Amino acid sequence: AALLLALQVRLVMKAHSFIRENVPRVLSSVKDKSGTLHIPRISQYLYFLFAPTLIYRDNYPRNPTIRWGYVATKFAQVLGSLFYAYYIFVRLCIPQFRNSNQETFNLRGLVLCIFNSILPGVLILFLVFFAFLHCWLNAFAEMLRFADRMFYK
């Protein structure tokens, strides 16, 4: 459910950017009654939907070739990060809460479980952010030959 919500938010943000960039151009050309309308092509919009950016432009800087080795490395890093996050979750987080069903509820036990899960939880959070924001987006940027990779600026 959270993944679907994140996808919908991304699509709404991209649609907003697309409309915000193109409506003023269309309105100004209609207002001036010039014969040329600057309507973007479907291929430009589809490229924008998959490009790792939220700002619509008709053209983006493009690399001449795709480095498939780089793409494979980034996808391998995604898989490695997810497997490592799963390993941390299974070995460090689940055992903390395993016996909580059998014991009577006490505040001390709950606080200890939460504090013992904070460090593994933060590590999992960092791994998931690294896997998605760095590896996944860079892999798709390379496959789309997207040259403007200023994710961290």
Angstrom distance (rounded) from CA 39 to CA 25: 8
Residue 88's pLDDT is: 93
Residue 142's pLDDT is: 92
Mean pLDDT of all residues in 6-21:
93
Residue 133's pLDDT is: 87
The full 3-state SS of the chain, as one line of letters, equals CHHHHHHHHHHHHHHHHHHHHHHHHHHHHHHHCCCCCCCCCHHHHHHHHHCCCCCCCCCCCECCCCCHHHHHHHHHHHHHHHHHHHHHHHHHHHHHHHHHCCCCCCHHHHHHHHHHHHHHHHHHHHHHHHHHHHHHHHHHHHHCCECCCCCCC
pLDDT at 57 over 70: yes
Angstrom distance (rounded) from CA 48 to CA 115: 43
pLDDT at 36 over 80: no
Q: What is the pTM of this model?
A: 0.73
More confident site: 70 or 95? 70
Q: What is the pLDDT of residues 94-143, one digit of tens each?
A: 887 777 777 777 888 788 888 888 999 999 999 999 999 889 989 999 99
More confident site: 108 or 70? 70
